[in-house]
Each structure stands twice: as structure tokens, then as C-alpha cells.
A = this chain, B = another copy of it.
Amino acid sequence: MEYDDGQLTEEKVFKDPVHRYIHVRDELIWKLIGTREFQRLRRIRQLGTTYVTFHGAEHTRFNHSLGVYEIMRRMVENLEKKMTWEEEERLVCLSAALLHDVGHGPFSHSFEKVFETDHEEWTRRIILGDTEINRVLLTMGDAFPKKVADVIAKTYDNKLIVSLISSQIDADRMDYLLRDAFYTGVSYGQFDMERLLRVMRPGEDQAVFKHSGMHAVEDYILSRYQMYWQVYFHPVTRSAEVILSKILNRAKALLADGYAFRLDPYHFRSLFQSTMTLEEYIRLDESIIMYYFQEWIQEKDAILRDLCGRFIDRHLFKYVECDPSEQLKIWPELKRLYNEIGLDPDYYLVIDSSSDLPYDFYRPGEKDERMPINLLMPDGSLRELSQESDIVEAISGKKRTDHKLYFPYDLLADQREYKEEKQRILELLHQQGG
């Protein structure tokens, strides 16, 4: 909430339920928040389809982006007590924190897979292209937008700054863990951010943490671990996501086939043809997607119609655990049976896998994302976190993967016709689920 609307002679504040207040002292930041590209984030949910599982999780990326900015502001305030840098670096930091998600599209996760777009690329284009954001950034100098984009792309010279916004313990992750826990209402996701910021020290190529704060770091890693499995990978959320992806796939296929839509999906056409302009992309948001989905409930294509109805009315797929190697055996029979009863297995029999690596310190051959978290020891040396923490050591490098097989239980349970085949399908699935 902005209490005033005038000149930035006084600090502006937004009331925020997670950080209490978000403080804006730089006109640059104030103006960036006011751009239409940033305001658009109000129309894109932070957690995609998670709201179907946790009804509290209706918050948007606007909400989160302000939070990341605020954490960065506090980080910078703390770090500046320990080091000096040019004023411009501070503004680069804050701008990058605020804008790091600005390229996200509606339901990004599914969208990117189906349309082969990349929100990071769109973020770059929004910062560097013909946009209000670019014009505001340019007021800081011609080179300024590029610097901000580089920080987000992790190619910026000052690796310390890059680490503040994308590393295994950064402003982005800190905000989303706290914020998503707040809105979903789960008790995981809590950690002592104030203490983390206080024990953070500027290192050469990344921020490090005083050894005395190790337990706060542990707590953060564990929060992350719990949030992934309790919230982010929740199977009901994934069921909604599976359906969403299949809707987009179906629409893509129909478009390619020259199917005559009742309502011309012109917003999608350029996406499917990969000719979408920056202006078109900026106008895309979740309202538009939801509008199409509602309209498509009246399409004549039975699959599109059914899937959209499922998504809108929350008639989701059910699931069984599945072992991908085992599943190979039943696949041919399942597909055959599906075809017999007139269900397209491409849309109604979906394996979805989630996997997470809660913390890692060394992954040869991979890109620099997995820089270790380093502790600053009393003698000034650095030690990698998992060498000091039993708990972190226990989970570090351990990738956990979970496979689930999603299917429309309601259609299979309604055995007024194809009774035998449907029973057999349910039997096979049940067997698979152990």
C-alpha cells in the first residue's frame, strides 16, 4: 500500500504481510514499480496451480517481486557496513532483485514446456527492449539496463551481486520460502531471516555466512527441503498442472491441424508459431488464459472441452505412485485398453516426475548454479556448509525423485459401458501403485 503519491522526498512504503513493510527510498525503484510491465505481474500467480491444493496461495509475482526487492534492500544495508562500493552497484542490485521475474508468463512452468519459451529470455527482452522499464532504467545511464540484465543472467562481473540474487541462499529463495509458507498456511518454511542477514558477509565471489550463524543456515536448507515436498511438489497441484499442459498441447495440435475454433485463439497463434512480439507477450496474463479455457468448454473438440472443464471446475485426475521402469511392462496393455474404450492415452494417461536436490556443493560438469554455501570460520577461513553440518551433509547431493501416473478416475469408475476394460485398467493402475 502506498500511503502517499507524491514526490519521493519521503520514503514510500508498501504494507506487506510477510516483511511488514517494504521500503522504497529510490525514485528509480518507485518508477520501476509503476511501469506497466511490472504491474502486469499482478496478473500472474506466484505458485501457478498450487491454489487448487492450498486455497490460500493466490498471491502473485508482483507480491513476491516486491519481497525480493525488500530482502535485497536489507542485505545491501547490512553488507554496506562491511564493505564499500559505488552507489550504482547498489541500484543495480535493487533493480535486478525487483525485476528478476519480470519475464514470467502465465502458468510459466507448463507454458515454457509446451511453447518452448524461456522466461529468462523474456526478462532480458523486457529489460533491454522497447518498454517502460527500459526507459526508466536508461535514466541511470546507457549502460545501466544491460548491467541489470546481466545480474539476472548471472553473467555480471561482480559475482558477489550475482550470488545475492541467484545462489543456493539468495534473496529470491528467502522470499519465496517465507511468502509461500505464509500464504499456504503451512508451518514449514520458517527460518530466521533477520539472523541470516546479520551473519552474512561479503566474500570474494559470493556472500558467505559467519560460522556462528550456521544453525540459521541449516534451518533455511531444511525449510526449503520441506517446502519442496510438502507444497511445491504436492500431487494434487501436479494433477492440475498435468491437465493444464494437456490443454495447451491439445490446442497446439488443433491449431496445427487447422481446426476451426469457435473463438479464434489469436493470443496463442503467435505463441505456437514462435512469432510472438514483445508487446504481445507483455499483454499475456493469466486472465487471458482463463478466458480461453472458459470459452473452450463450449468447443466441439471433446478432449479440449473435457480438459478445460476439468481445469475450471477442479475435476482433477487421480494418481498412483509409479516406478518408471516397472511401468514399461503395463504400458502396452494400458494403451490398448485406453484405445478400446475411446480414451486418448496421450491426454489421459500421464506420467509426471518431480525431483529435487535440496543442497549440493559440487556437481562436476554442471553450470555454476550449485556454488556451495560457505561458512566464514572464526580464523577467517572458509568451510563448505556440509562439512560442518551433519544434517546438511545428510541431504546434500541426494537427488530425490518422485514419479506419479495421472488418470481420470471418474471416467474409469463410471462403468456403465466398457465395464470389463475399465476394471482391468483400474486393476493395472492399482497394481502399479503398489
Residues of A within 8 A of B (CB): 1-5, 13-18, 20-21, 34, 36, 39, 42-43, 51, 53-56, 58-60, 62-63, 66, 182-188, 190-192, 194-195, 198, 212, 215, 218-219, 222, 225-226, 229-230, 234, 236, 283, 285-288, 290-291, 294, 312-314, 318, 390-391, 393-395, 398, 400
Instruction: Indicate whether A53 sits within 8 Å of B2 (C-beta atoms), given known contacts A192-B186, A287-B290, A291-B288.
Output: yes
Q: List 10 A-B contacts (CB under 8 A).
A: A15-B185, A17-B185, A20-B194, A21-B198, A36-B313, A55-B66, A188-B215, A188-B219, A190-B190, A290-B291
Contact residues in B for A283 (Cβ distance below 8 Å): 294
CB distance B212 to A219 under 8 Å?
Answer: no
Instruction: Indicate whether A215 sits within 8 Å of B226 (C-beta atoms), given known contacts A16-B185, A39-B312, A192-B186.
Output: yes
CB distance B226 to A2 under 8 Å?
Answer: no
Contact residues in B for A186 (Cβ distance below 8 Å): 15, 192
Bound: A230/B195 CA distance, A? 13
Bound: A313/B41 CA distance, A? 10
CB distance B187 to A190 under 8 Å?
Answer: yes
Query: Which residue on B lies nearest to A13, using beta carbons?
Result: B198
Bound: A136/B350 CA distance, A? 31
Residue among A51, A62, A291 with the highest chain B CB neighbour number at 10 A: A291
CB distance A16 to B226 under 8 Å?
Answer: no
Instruction: Indicate whether A219 sits within 8 Å of B294 (C-beta atoms), given known contacts A1-B53, A212-B4.
Output: no
* Residue in B14, B187, B212 whose beta carbon sits within 8 Å of that of A191 in the complex: B187
**Chain B proximity of A398: nearest CB distance (Å):** 6
CB distance B395 to A400 under 8 Å?
Answer: no
* Residue in B194, B234, B313, B394 whose beta carbon sits within 8 Å of that of A39 in the complex: B313
Bound: A35/B60 CA distance, A? 26
CB distance A2 to B236 under 8 Å?
Answer: yes
* Residue in B17, B58, B215, B288 whose beta carbon sits within 8 Å of that of A294 in the complex: B288
Instruction: Indicate whether A194 sits within 8 Å of B2 (C-beta atoms), given known contacts A55-B42, A222-B391.
Output: no
Contact residues in B for A222 (Cβ distance below 8 Å): 222, 391
**Chain B proximity of A321: nearest CB distance (Å):** 10
Instruction: Indicate whether A56 sits within 8 Å of B229 (C-beta atoms), given known contacts A42-B51, A219-B188, A294-B288.
Output: no
CB distance B390 to A15 under 8 Å?
Answer: no
**Chain B proximity of A373: nearest CB distance (Å):** 17
Bound: A285/B294 CA distance, A? 10
**Chain B proximity of A26: nearest CB distance (Å):** 15
Contact residues in B for A312 (Cβ distance below 8 Å): 36, 39
| Extra A-B contacts (4), CB below 8 Å, given A58-B60, A225-B391 | A2-B236, A36-B313, A188-B219, A291-B291
Bound: A390/B43 CA distance, A? 38
Contact residues in B for A43 (Cβ distance below 8 Å): 290
Bound: A229/B215 CA distance, A? 9
Bound: A3/B194 CA distance, A? 14
CB distance A391 to B391 under 8 Å?
Answer: yes
Contact residues in B for A15 (Cβ distance below 8 Å): 54, 56, 184-186
**Chain B proximity of A7: nearest CB distance (Å):** 13
**Chain B proximity of A376: nearest CB distance (Å):** 13
* Residue in B1, B34, B215, B230 whose beta carbon sits within 8 Å of that of A55 in the complex: B1
Bound: A14/B52 CA distance, A? 11
CB distance B390 to A400 under 8 Å?
Answer: yes
Contact residues in B for A18 (Cβ distance below 8 Å): 56, 185
Bound: A390/B56 CA distance, A? 29
Query: Which residue on B lies nearest to A11, using beta carbons?
Result: B198
Contact residues in B for A314 (Cβ distance below 8 Å): 34, 39, 42
Contact residues in B for A394 (Cβ distance below 8 Å): 390-391, 393-395
**In the complex, the 4 A-B pairs of residues with the closest C-beta atoms, listed nearest first:** A394-B394, A17-B185, A287-B290, A291-B291
* Residue in B2, B191, B195, B318 whose beta carbon sits within 8 Å of that of A5 in the complex: B318
Bound: A2/B63 CA distance, A? 25
